[in-house]
Chain A
Amino acid sequence: MAISIEDVEHVARLARLKLTEEEKETYRRQLSDVLEHARKISEVDTSDVPPTSHTLPLRNVFREDSLRPSLSVKEATGSAAWAVEGAFKVPRII
């Protein structure tokens, strides 16, 4: 299944990836190849087959509503050189 450059751009926007024109073309081609291969699965009749998202028979896994120690602010922000007074600084949103 061939996908278009517009599809690639739309997906890149959803995934927040800046692509060069060259990359767009490469991904267009490669994704088309993989999707072409994957399209075979649409030939399988699954009309009465439920989807599986978990192979585990587990259900109702809960924890008690109790506190556990939080990180220190230093630990919480230590991996962000751009943190300011305990908060993560980001460029303007709008």
Chain B
Amino acid sequence: MEYETIIGLEIHAELSTESKMFCGCSASFGGGPNTKTCPVCLGHPGSLPVTNMKAIEYTMMLALALNCEITPRSVFHRKNYFYPDMPKNFQISQYDIPLSTDGHLDADMNDYVRKVGITRVHIEEDTGKSIHIGESGRIHGAEYSLEDFNRAGIPLAEIVTEPDIRSAEEARAFMQLLRATLEYLGISDCKMEEGSLRCDANISVAVDGKLGTKVEIKNMNSFRSLFRALSYEEERQRFALEQGGGLIQETRHWDDAEGKTHPLRSKEEAFDYRYFPEPDLVPIEPDPEWVDRLRENLPELPQARFHRFMEQFGLARDIASMLTGEKALADYFERAVETGQGPEELAKWIAGDLSAMLREAVVPIQHCPVAPRGLGELVALVNQKVISGKMAKEVLREAFETGKGPQRIVDEKGLSQIADAHELEVVVDEVIAENPGAADDMRTGKEQALKFMMGQVMKKTRGKANPEVASRLLKQKLIGRE
């Protein structure tokens, strides 16, 4: 029997507009409960929604970035269901005529590309937040809940994919690319932990090409939990199928602490949303010129930049992918390249030591204490043989910790290499005099001896000797050639 995992994603991204979707309250994160509310977003009797043009524009930008068609005339619908975090007990959303449809986003999987179809990108409003009060702070077992409507009405772009994803790895790669796309467009904060980017998944396992039972997974709050939840669920479903057991179509909740999915049973849910056209709003018919202007003004997107980094700078696939996965990181790299140093070397420093330090210190690249110019300076010092590669690592750490420029650190600590042949010659002569045995070995062509002699030179200069110059001098003096 051949198993194939089939995954489709439904993603909600909060848009970073100033004001909410249908009222003038702030769409920013946080604040005391109900400090960012008004009659509209509290669903007060008589209040009416008015659409935020920026939210429409942002959603269209996203749709265009995902290669979607913009619908010439789309409408809002009401999705009716009761829930305490919903001020009106309906959500203004889109249904059979969404803002855009039929796109795709291609995730690079290193040795292959996964083309994921985008069914639709539409716009809707976010709900408020329930805070569960009771022993665990979780919804189960809470004594009561407190409702805060600050989040209610923040614009959400909903992205629905085709079931084109075949593994948890692909799902994660797709989400990372989508996150980067949102970030490049500058239309969302994309913080999965704060809930500004949320992802639900439909997953099933097909057996010998026959479609399986679809299970919906909710509550995956990071890329890691998306990957873990889907891996777990894939295993669970395969195991059930192997055992000959059946699967039921259901919604399951990912418990990150436990590392398992659980059925989400709730007696309140009656799945009949009674969608109908929102009578308080009028259709959206984007002017083709507006759409063209947005299309023309789209920034360079992650995939394009990824390919450009490989072509223009000769970067390896994995480094290019890593650098372009985060806009700020790619920007940092390009600013460093402006210093005139080698792109490959710079990329290696950024992807290697610098990223490690940022991770360790939990500092985003935007606040990196070493400026792109500083990194260029560091690479220049290595290239000009002022410091060795090994010394450069220490200089970078020092620069990261103190914020001082690499040149300044080298100057202050007197770290510059001894590359002056005359100066080094004195040391080399001393070493030859002090180690006649090893000198003889070198003369007779023993490779090992050179390393030893070099070690002695480094010891005398406390590591500051330029290795190339020292090695040349030793060879000249003992074997008569370089």
Contact = CB atoms under 8 A, between A and B. Distances in A.
B51 interface: yes
B52 A58 contact: no
A77 B37 CA distance: 10
Interface stretch (B53-61, B191-199, B401-409): B53-61
Chain A CB within 10 A, most for which of B33, B75, B84, B266: B33
Contact of A62 (B42, B52, B272): B52
Given A14-B270, A70-B38, A61 B148 contact: no
B39 A71 contact: yes
Contact of B144 (A54, A68, A91): A91
Contacts of B142: 92-94
Interface in B252-311: 266, 268, 270, 272, 274, 276-277, 279, 281-287
Contacts of A39: none
A37 B55 CA distance: 44
- Dominant secondary structure of chain A at its interface with chain B: loop
Interface band, chain B: 35 or more
A56 B134 CA distance: 50
B19 A68 contact: yes
Contacts of B53: 62-65
A89 B52 contact: no
B322 interface: no
Nearest to A88: B147
Interface in B5-26: 17-19, 23-26
Contact of B282 (A14, A54, A92, A93): A54
Contact of B50 (A13, A63, A85): A63
B131 interface: yes
A65 B18 contact: yes
B145 A90 contact: yes
Nearest to B140: A94
A86 B51 contact: no
A59 B139 contact: no
B284 to A, nearest CB: 6
A73 B144 contact: no
Contacts of A59: 73, 282-285
Interface in B29-67: 32-39, 42, 50-56
Interface string A29-66: 00000000000000000000000011010111111111
B477 interface: no
A87 interface: yes
Nearest to B22: A63
A65 B59 CA distance: 14
A76 interface: yes
B17 A89 contact: no
A65 B132 CA distance: 33
Nearest to B39: A71
A94 B279 CA distance: 32
Given A86-B35, A92-B143, A16 B281 contact: no
Interface of B: 17-19, 23-26, 32-39, 42, 50-56, 73, 75, 82, 84, 130-132, 134, 139-140, 142-149, 266, 268, 270, 272, 274, 276-277, 279, 281-287
13 contacts: A53-B279, A54-B277, A60-B283, A60-B284, A62-B52, A66-B18, A71-B38, A76-B42, A84-B146, A87-B131, A87-B148, A90-B130, A91-B144
Interface of A: 10, 13-14, 16, 53-54, 56, 58-71, 73, 76-77, 84-94
Given A14-B272, A67-B25, 11 more contacts: A54-B277, A63-B51, A63-B53, A65-B18, A76-B37, A84-B146, A88-B149, A89-B145, A92-B134, A93-B139, A94-B268
